[in-house]
Amino acid sequence: MATVLKEPSRTFNEYLIIPGYSGADAIPENVSLKTPVVRFQKGEEPEISMNIPLTSAVMQAVSDNNMAVALAKEGGISFIFGSQSIESQAAMVKKAKSHKAGFVPSDSNLRPDQTLQDVIDLKAEKGHSTVSITEDGTSDGKLVGIVTSRDYRVSRMDVDTPISEFMTPFDKLIYGKDGITLSEANDIIWDNKVNQLPVIDDNQRLKAFVFRKDYDSHKENPNELLDAGKRYVVGAGINTRDFKERVPALVDAGVDIMTIDSSEGYSEWQAITLKWIRDTYGNKVKVGAGNVVDADGFNFLAECGADFIKVGIGGGSICITREQKGIGRGQASSIIEVAQARDEYFKKTGTYIPICSDGGIVYDYHITLALAMGADFVMLGRYFARFDESPSAKLMVNGNYVKEYWGEGSARARNWQRYDLGGDGKMKFEEGVDSYVPYAGTLHDNVLRSLNKVKSTMCNCGVLTIPDLHKNAKLTLVSAVSIVEGGAHDVIPKEISTTGNK
Ligand code: MZP
């Protein structure tokens, strides 16, 4: 007869944290959110840690090279989506790895023979007022001038005027030479009272811009996550089908860590993939695996050599796997059981394998709950999709700004490899939906606010580190009526939040 678990499958909303004694030193400034990302031996330091316990989901609508840079600046890791060609994914990794803080590749570019109308259209599309004018209109073509809003007046000029007639030409430009440091670039900007500095190579080809408005932001990233060469740490998703070609391309592009992206990871496919990576690269290449929801799944992937293990099936905001296939488990029950298995594995073998709670985070306090239940870090899709830095389109729907957000199992993403069980390589039915999420502004502002809440709750528990939260957190199940008591109740709220920021 089948095994039927006695406990129901429970999720975050069913738990609360009971505060513990807080000493006078339990203040948010003293909290460290540093957390291990890859397996390590007792008494040793993990080769990769994060400064904040957040990763962004392996999804088309969430994690590209922009997101990778934005999240690494805050101290987390983005896993660039794998449901694209090997070449384009490797190019994204390369872009993120070669990103130099403060040096921005030009994304608004035109040719000198194009017109004022083209400038107006591009400004409306990209939202940037600086346009580089290159010989061939590419972002790394030979720089012949720039156009900013100081160079034209729409009300006084014919929209057919060629750019060459009103741009600031190259011989009048202040520019920097490739190889200058950010502080040298900023000195040139300040000395010459310009708002932006194009940086060119020996052949006058454009490499990047440094903007005056960014000056402050580059001074204040105390948590940024850098590799030994001071480049941002970047992750990427792989699958169990084309890993023999994809992994080498990503490694060549400089990726720091990968994860097998699969909706259900307790399988021989993952064992084969992990074995090939270990046989080919030893322990030099770091790779997570998953997703699993119980101790059996964890122990299997631990023995296969996964560097970290992702937990969660069917809890994602865009996921309909549970409805379609009837598999999955409440995220809280999954994390609690897997965390116990992780601790037992550590006791038995002396190897600590971090676990990642993937999907289903709705409120900021769910992040704290996941950590308190034993997760070392969390992976979020919906959360990051709402920000400026996500790759999807920002639209106005019913008077509110939204961003598009679609599941990897939706017909739109067509990521059949994520759901593949070794068949004919075709998607048979959808396991995800296409949706909108409320637009919520910049990643920096939101992450700051969310993590302030996490730190504040940790102080309420009297703990200053995530490992101490694991050891000391006290959790309670909540009844349906006490959930009602927890929100504003018996009053008429004056404002209803439209940002989705909870
Ligand atoms: P969430 O943060 O939006 O709740 O969940 C994001 C997670 O959902 C991803 O990291 C991934 O594990 C999972 N996901 C992505 N696509 C689908 C789908 O189409 C999905 N079903 O479940």
Instruction: Please give the average per-residue pLDDT across 399-405, as a whole number.
Output: 96
The confidence band for 218, taking pLDDT boundaries of 50, 70 and 90, is low
Nearest Cα to 476, choosing from 332, 378, 343, 316? 332
Q: What's the first-to-final CA gap in the chain, in angstroms?
A: 43
The arithmetic mean of pLDDT across residues 381-406, rounded, is 96
pLDDT (0 to 100) of residue 502: 55
Cα of 177 from ligand 1 centre, angstroms: 44
DSSP for 311-370, written as a single string: E-BS-STTB-HHHHH---B-HHHHHHHHHHHHHHHHHHHSEE--EEEES---SHHHHHHH
Q: Give 379 Cα–ligand 1 centroid separation in angstroms.
A: 9
**Of 168, 164, 171, 126, which is closest to residue 146 (Cα–Cα)?**
168
List 304, 418, 459, 461, catalytic entry: 418
Bridge partners for 435 per DSSP? 405
In the predicted structure, residue 425 carries a pLDDT above the cut 90: no
Q: What is the DSSP letter of 393?
A: P
Q: Distance from the CA of 393 to the center of ligand 1, in angstroms?
A: 18
Tell me the CB-side half-sphere exposure of residue 303, using CA atoms within 13 A. 10
Atom of ligand 1 nearest to the CA of 385: 3
In which residue are the tokens 């502080």 written?
183
Residue whose CA lies nearest to ligand 1 atom number 22: 319
Q: Where is pLDDT greater, at 151 or 415?
A: 151
> Ligand 1 centre and the CA of 116: distance in Å?
43
pLDDT at 220: 60
* Residue among 71, 239, 325, 358 to mutate when testing ligand 1 (max atoms within 8 A of CB): 358
| The one-letter amino acid at 304 | C
Whether 304 is a known active-site residue: answer no
Mean pLDDT (whole number) for 470-479? 96
Q: What's the CA gap between 391 and 382, in Å, rounded?
A: 13
Give the mean model confidence (pLDDT) for residues 115-142.
92
Which residue, judged by its Cα, is nearest atom 17 of ligand 1? 407
Please give the pLDDT value at position 229: 82
* Helix residue ranges, H only, 99-154: 116-126
**pLDDT above 90: residue 120:** yes
Average pLDDT, the chain: 93
Position 449 scores a pLDDT of: 98
**CA–centroid distance for 465 within its chain:** 22
Q: What DSSP character marks residue 13? A: G
Residue 370 has phi, psi (to 5 degrees) of -60, -45
Sign of the CA dihedral with 414 first, then 415, 421, and 425 last = positive
Cα–ligand 1 centroid distance for 8 (angstroms)? 22
C-alpha triplet 189, 195, 199: angle, nearest 5°: 60
Ligand 1, CB within 6 Å, residue ranges: 57, 59, 316-319, 321, 358-361, 379-383, 407-410, 431-432
Which token pair is 305? 């050599």
Residue 257 alpha carbon to ligand 1 centre in Å: 19
Spatial distance between the Cα atoms of 143 and 110, rounded to a whole number of angstroms: 10
Ligand 1 atom nearest the C-alpha of 317 is 4
Closest C-alpha to ligand 1, atom 7: 359
Atom of ligand 1 nearest to the CA of 431: 21
Paired sense of beta strands 54-56 and 15-18, if any: unpaired
Q: State the Cα–Cα distance between residues 21 and 396, nearest whole angstrom.
A: 47
Rounded to the nearest whole angstrom, what is the distance from the C-alpha of residue 273 to the centroid of ligand 1? 22
- Residue range 57-67: mean pLDDT, rounded: 97
Residue 79 has pLDDT above 90, yes or no: yes
The reply to whether 319 belongs to the active site is: yes
Taking alpha carbons only, the member of 53, 52, 56, 55 closest to residue 391 is 56
Pocket of ligand 1, candidates 259, 262, 319, 331: which has the most ligand atoms within 8 Å of its Cβ, to mutate?
A: 319
246, 304, 319, 459: the catalytic one is 319
Which atom from ligand 1 is nearest to the alpha carbon of 319?
Answer: 21
| Residue 459, token pair as written in the block | 């102080």
Quote the pLDDT of residue 496: 60
Residue 85 has pLDDT above 80, yes or no: yes
Residue 287 clears pLDDT 90, i.e. is over it: yes
Task: Give the model confidence (pLDDT) of 193-214 as tens digits.
Answer: 999 999 999 999 999 999 887 7
